[in-house]
Amino acid sequence: MTHVKRDDSYPPSYGKYSRKSSDCRTGRASYRPVGGYLQIRSNFQKAHDRIGRGFFFTLEKFKMNKTTDTPRNKQTETKGKLGDSMLGSEILVKALEKEGVDTIFAYPGGASMELHQALTHSKQIRTILPRHEQGGSFAAEGYARATGKVGVCMATSGPGATNLVTGIADAYMDSIPLVTVTGQVPQAMIGKGGFQETDFYGMTLPVVKHSFLVTDVTEIPTIISQAFKIANSGRPGPVVVDIPKNIQQTRAQAFFPDDVNIEGFDPESKKISDLELNEIIGLIEKSKRPLLYVGGGIISADASDALRKFVDATGIPVTTTIMGLGAFPETHELSLRWLGMHGSAYANWAVSGEFEKDKEGNSVKVTDGSDLLLALGVRFDDRVTGKVEKFCENGTIVHIDIDPSEINKNRKVTLPIISDVKYALERLAEMVSERPLQTKFDSWQNQVRDWKEKAPFGYHVTEEVMKSQHMKDHLSGSENEVILPQMVIDELYKLTEGDAILTTGVGQHQMWSCQYFLSENPRQVLTSAGLGAMGFGYPAALGAKVARPDKQVIDIDGDGSFLMNVQELATAKIEKIAAKAIILNNQHLGMVVQWEDRFYAGNRGHTYLGNPDDMKQIYPDYVEMIKGFGLPVERVMFKRDLKAALQRMLDSDEAYVLDVVVPYTEHVLPFIPAGHTVADMIWKE
Ligand SMILES: Cc1ncc(C[n+]2csc(CCOP(=O)(O)OP(=O)(O)O)c2C)c(N)n1
Ligand SMILES: [Mg+2]
């Protein structure tokens, strides 16, 4: 079996012993040690014997409980500076400072309190205490997603570390640069099932880009530099650095390299050739209906300006993924907004064609979709493609990505290219401005315009809403004042004029946030896309606000999702982080309810979040709860109060929560049921 790895990011000398996860197609499982530490031992021992390095731990080393005898690795030969005599914990803090870290979200415990002691002496790093490690990991992600810089979080061994796993998995799925530092039990205790020991290194293997277990105190600076480099080069991702307590307590003089050269790891050197670029231009010249399908890779690569130039020079319309929101301005006439399960009908039509039902109820194609799909920095996620073989079935597909493991993984394409996408777009823009295309795409652009006019995102108060329990319980006599969830985001978009950073939970509110808030720029809507992790919204907003204090940062959340990390309100209050939150409170797990309505005849399977003994009550009482955290809060029930309440929230200098009560009967449309095609898209009631 061949092992194709993300980025090819292993130094070859680490080989399979690096314990880095790989993509699922190539059988991550074969990397995974079956029996924990003992099983790894033989592999690692072999690796150690072969390469004579101290990068990989061995049981012998743990037994020795000292680490400074490890053979020096190559980095000592590079330029740098020998540090003063310091404790391992202090070396770590210095190494983080050297990487430019200004914020760390860290929750202490027995195996990491040494690190916290050292952090108290840092003048550069602000240590923020989240109220749950999961909150800390999402906050670090929010920081990273808002800036493109590496987010950093830290936890103690055992339960502290396991609480980080969801955040790490989230960063892995969405390719977010994250360095997580965890304390580990002393080396002598590893493998013995001692208090708060978990094999965190092993546990996180399938969801990290790389991981280190530090066995030599003097290697901390090199490992930290490597961790940051790996996290944020090529396709970004999470890196775990697990540091046993005895290493933190060991005094040593460590070498701080100016730069680290990781042998064999140079993802950014992958560049498309002019020959391939000419081939793409040739395909565009021949095409009648070219379409750009762009994703988070454009944002990670900082390639949106280059994309804009290329579109200006060619007139090719653009659709993005949710991770690619803002890679191209959504207000631009050539923007088709985002595509997929709940994306715009017109983006989905532009990819695969427009279908209508005939008299017998069969779907028939009425207009062709794209004949040339330029897929850049995307991964053909199933929420985008639906039934993947039908996705742009009749088009030629060009796929450019930095990560070889994405090529032909979900969708076989005509022209796959491994390249830095920014370079590819810059060169393409240059080439087409030097030698303009012979083709114009007027009729295709007109088609796109017609589609946009035919099926804009929209909402209205339906009969279902009027007849709903929500109306009876909460709006009897004031039915005209009902607030639909979509209205809230629409109004917020108008009030902020689109100049804000949004985070979201996961569910219906998430989809409406992406539909009704148009991203002009990258890094405006931060959402857990690949993992779909409820609880992401508010902690991510904290991280984003810390990183971008100049911006309004607003978490648009569901009542279910918000409750999952509600404790982070304490972080906001105590750390004075003015991240706002709007709870679109439908008293239900709305997205699951929507599926129940569509596919399970409306049978409710534990999707009601309110109090069944008193359905007129709004439960839990967020107003009382948020008051308990010492933060301002308002409940909004009537449309007439919405705008002013939103404005008060925006005007607040501190964290502020609006609990907006909305009906649960709304469905997110358009909707392409999972595994189906655009022919099955429900786009109007
Ligand atoms: C941690 C986690 N658990 C469960 C789910 C499954 N899930 C997806 S959406 C959803 C409902 C979310 O409810 P809420 O946050 O109130 O948002 P709404 O859909 O009502 O807007 C659930 C349970 C998930 N995505 N994440
Ligand atoms: Mg809800």
Q: Report residue 647 as tokens.
A: 């404005």
Kindly name the residue from 245, 270, 422, 639 that is annotated as catalytic.
Answer: 245
What average pLDDT is seen over the chain? 90
Predicted model pTM: 0.91
Query: Which ligand is closest to the CA of 489, given by its number?
Result: 1
Torsion of CA 631, 494, 508, 550, to 10 degrees: -50
Kindly name the residue from 134, 187, 196, 552 that is annotated as catalytic.
Answer: 196
In angstroms, the CA 514 to CA 81 distance is 48
**Amino acid code (one letter) for 658:** L
In angstroms, the CA 537 to CA 527 distance is 7
Q: Which of 470, 489, 506 to mutate to test the pocket of ligand 1 (most atoms within 8 A of CB)?
A: 506
Residue 39 has pLDDT above 60, yes or no: no
pLDDT of 338-387, one tens digit each? 999 999 999 999 999 999 999 998 999 999 999 999 999 999 999 999 99
Report percent pLDDT > 90 for the chain: 87
Active site residue 16: no
Q: Report residue 323 as tokens.
A: 């991770």
Q: How far is the CA of 648 from the centre of ligand 1 (A)?
A: 28
Alpha-carbon distances, residue 93 vs 96, 105, 546 (angstroms): 5, 13, 20
Kindly name the residue from 90, 133, 141, 666 that is annotated as catalytic.
Answer: 133
SS3 329: coil
DSSP assignment string, 106-118: E---TTTHHHHHH
The pLDDT-based confidence of 192 (bands split at 50, 70, 90) is very high
CA–CA–CA angle 118, 123, 124 (5° rounding): 100
Q: What is the pLDDT of residue 7?
A: 54
In angstroms, the CA 168 to CA 156 distance is 15
The packing angle between helices 421-434 and 304-314, to 10°, is 30
Find the mean pLDDT for residues 486-498: 98
534 lines ligand 1 (CB under 6 A): yes
What is the greatest pairwise CA distance in the chain?
82
Dump strand ranges (E) for 134-245. 151-155, 178-184, 210-213, 238-244
Instruction: Check: CB of residue 486 under 8 Å from CB of residue 459.
Output: yes
Q: How far is the CA of 594 from the centre of ligand 1 (A)?
A: 11
509 lines ligand 1 (CB under 6 A): yes
In angstroms, the CA 207 to CA 498 distance is 34
In angstroms, the CA 528 to CA 70 distance is 41
Residue 64 has pLDDT above 70, yes or no: no
